[in-house]
Structure 1
């Protein structure tokens, strides 16, 4: 679950970007300033705000060690600040004096990329503070940039809608045309690399004016080169998506939208986990902390919200949190019917106004699986529900009912014990409704194991990027060739890792049903 920790209200205009280092949070704004806070208590550092820019600041980012903070502006500059003192460590003037919309450090902090409104890209050697390479994208503004975890390539996104993959020599390795209709707004690499003997895989998120968030697989085959494939298209928000960011472990993905919401997804399965509603205007920025379970979101309402991502064991600030399911039920409804105990079945009977059957069901040890297996014949012949009771009734009253008649098959009304002719049919109808809920395909497909097609109880992530029921995939690996059940391609490793995020999502979905 996610809870609101605090709201920062120091900026005087739109907040355009948020960035974390291990111990600091930086935010930048159209008010021309960059503000820096301690993650420990979100107090503003003594040298903050940083006010070296002449116009609005569009983007900010930390070097890997957190020692330096870069910010870029409409004033055509990218300024690098020393986070120990707040002093300017370097200032880069963008080629052509174009407004700079985005900047990004490489993971080793050796390089800094800046992208301009005129489509120009500048790659700076940060050590020597010199311009290393420039390139240009025609008829577009560079609005997004992210380095891969290895630091050897980076991706840019433009207002034209394309994503482009570049190496450090500024050679274009791949391009995805029309990745987002009407334009890309942000992109971010997941921090982890999956590598085999001759294949490297890494995920990239991108979002755009088409109101979509997308997850891509970028792979490098030593023989075939670079390749970009679409993995998930996420439509959890109803307006253009302006920002996106992976968590430090790559399990979660957050995005901010023009619809004023913040969406948190399971990044492996593409499942919407939470929709956070607290900003009053467009959500323009979002970022995960690399060291603590925090999200920062910035908005055109001039505020920055800090959210804590929790493991579900503690409480949350319910006023600002809406589960994607929209509702939450308690008691037996927190489980799938197949997991119900006898007490859960009793609770269900009371809920469906079938409490007259509680004792009979308990006496016959009816739990969830037994309930789903009941038929009209079982109800009549074994549980004696709805049977002919005329032999037990005289003048509307039972003879020695406690001994000879199944009293749960009757309704006592105004002193008369009447047979409930529709009772058995009602039970069957209610059981059928439960089965429809269970089978009724309302189950998200990503919650079903691709092998068993059953809802997963212990989902694990395999080397092919798909999640499976642990027992199913381990059995597959033992009895089949080392190939993916989904792609038929060889698995680079047979190791599987628990997908706790998906498990949480499944549990939340169960609770909502």
Structure 2
């Protein structure tokens, strides 16, 4: 039996991945942010959202101990974040700086593996931050990768439908656009390398299977038409992410679950990004009371008094800087100033995306297009962004992951004129 615990509605664009540690839930999105929540009450941590990627974030994963989180993006980088402070610990640049679609830690966190949209993978020594090995699978996007539990082997999956092992016997699950979920056995042979044997083909789903995941003990498997799904390592929790911008948290059976003093959560509870009264209004139109309510909701209640004394409304909030926090509001704590500025940056980003019509945004950069062109997949992109995508040896669609039949780009003059009219009206 599976029951819905809560729905998180913090992201402003597609949720691409979710990951669970012993006490945290991480989610990432095309909105360029990574958000961190406590699994005990599903409150967002003070240092969340994590802002550092230039483009959409495709994947995130915790190290075994939960001390670090890795996230990768179209910007060609995998960022390592500290889960104690929210600060960036390291940045791994994928060779060629092609978009990085997926990343994962080995079971002992000794290695980090990342896969690119040009069919390449990179294996890093996490402790020394050294690049150990790179390889090319084919010209298709690497959309999945995983280490074996022993850490002696890793597997990659591509948009061509290939599943390949890289150096013992383990079970592997794969899914795809063919609506099938397949279970494989992988054995390492002394002389002949690896052998993959298809054990089962599950055909119970009526549409494409976009994600799948084993439970920590390997006894359960989830799959679905959602962009992300994950089991918690020590509790009976599942998190799923979707293109509707939400993250759902589910409880399986009668196991341990999160929320409240006794671990009890309210089924169907929905957690909003902002408190009542201002969640549907632009930040620039917030009143002083709205700002105070937002501060309380973000765990920054200590700042309510100085903000009220200085008549800080929404417009003033967006104009604050670290210098003004120090000199005008007399906030001496460096940590408090940094937390507040991260929250304000998140508001600015969310405000920008919420005001821009989605059809005017490039799917790659998530910014309003100035020179839109139509690619072979039928989608419109900013010319420079899609040309850079293609020039980095990508032969698959950024939207569908299917091969592009041609690299020819056609100017979308109708869309360009519509964007021009919209800009003139702003």
In structure 2, relative to structure 1, the CA distance for the partners of 1:319 and 1:129 (3 Å cut) is: closer
The residue number in structure 1 matching 2:317 is none
Structure 2 residue matching 1:131: 3-state secondary structure = strand
| TM-score, reference length from structure 2 | 0.59
Structure 1 residue matching 2:134: 3-state secondary structure = strand
Distance 2:162 2:247 in 1: 29
The residue number in structure 2 matching 1:110 is 110
The residue number in structure 1 matching 2:246 is 303
Distance 2:233 2:212 in 1: 15
Distance 1:122 1:53 in 2: 19
Distance 2:199 2:266 in 1: 33
Is 1:201 aligned to residue 201 of structure 2?
no
The residue number in structure 2 matching 1:31 is 31
Shift in Å, 1:319: 9.5
The residue number in structure 2 matching 1:217 is 185
Distance 1:255 1:9 in 2: 22
Distance 1:54 1:250 in 2: 36
The residue number in structure 2 matching 1:3 is 3
Distance 2:194 2:66 in 1: 30
Residues 155-170 of structure 1: pairs in structure 2 closer than 5 A: 155-167=155-167
**What do residues 421-447 of structure 1 show as CA deviations (whole Å, max 9, x unaligned)?**
xxxxxxxxxxxxxxxxxxxxxxxxxxx
Structure 1 residue matching 2:69: 3-state secondary structure = strand
1:293 aligned to which of 230, 236, 243 = 236
Structure 1 residue matching 2:227: 3-state secondary structure = strand
In structure 2, relative to structure 1, the CA distance for the partners of 1:311 and 1:232 (3 Å cut) is: farther
Shift in Å, 1:247: 0.8
Structure 2 stretches lacking a partner, 5+ long? 256-264, 270-426
Query: Contact 2:4 / 2:268 at 8 angstroms: preserved in 1?
Result: no
Query: Contact 1:256 / 1:297 at 8 angstroms: preserved in 2?
Result: no
Q: Deviation above 6 Å: which 4+ runs of structure 1?
A: 316-320
The residue number in structure 2 matching 1:82 is 82
The residue number in structure 1 matching 2:402 is none
Structure 2 residue matching 1:96: 3-state secondary structure = helix
Query: Contact 1:68 / 1:83 at 8 angstroms: preserved in 2?
Result: yes
The residue number in structure 2 matching 1:62 is 62
Residues 108-147 of structure 1: pairs in structure 2 closer than 5 A: 108-147=108-147
Is 1:250 aligned to residue 188 of structure 2?
no
Structure 2 residue matching 1:127: 3-state secondary structure = coil
The residue number in structure 2 matching 1:230 is 198
Shift in Å, 1:228: 1.1
Residues 433-512 of structure 1: pairs in structure 2 closer than 5 A: none
Distance 1:52 1:317 in 2: 33
Distance 2:38 2:98 in 1: 33
Query: Contact 1:3 / 1:317 at 8 angstroms: preserved in 2?
Result: no
Query: Contact 1:201 / 1:218 at 8 angstroms: preserved in 2?
Result: yes
Residues 380-391 of structure 1: pairs in structure 2 closer than 5 A: none
The residue number in structure 2 matching 1:93 is 93
| TM-score, reference length from structure 1 | 0.49
Shift in Å, 1:105: 0.7
Distance 2:25 2:266 in 1: 22
Structure 1 stretches lacking a partner, 5+ long? 168-199, 258-282, 321-513
Distance 1:117 1:309 in 2: 34
Shift in Å, 1:221: 3.9
Distance 1:76 1:139 in 2: 16
In structure 2, relative to structure 1, the CA distance for the partners of 1:14 and 1:164 (3 Å cut) is: same
For the aligned residues, what is the CA RMSD?
2.3
Query: Contact 1:243 / 1:286 at 8 angstroms: preserved in 2?
Result: yes
Shift in Å, 1:222: 4.0
Distance 1:107 1:93 in 2: 22
The residue number in structure 2 matching 1:284 is 227
Distance 1:78 1:216 in 2: 29
The residue number in structure 2 matching 1:52 is 52
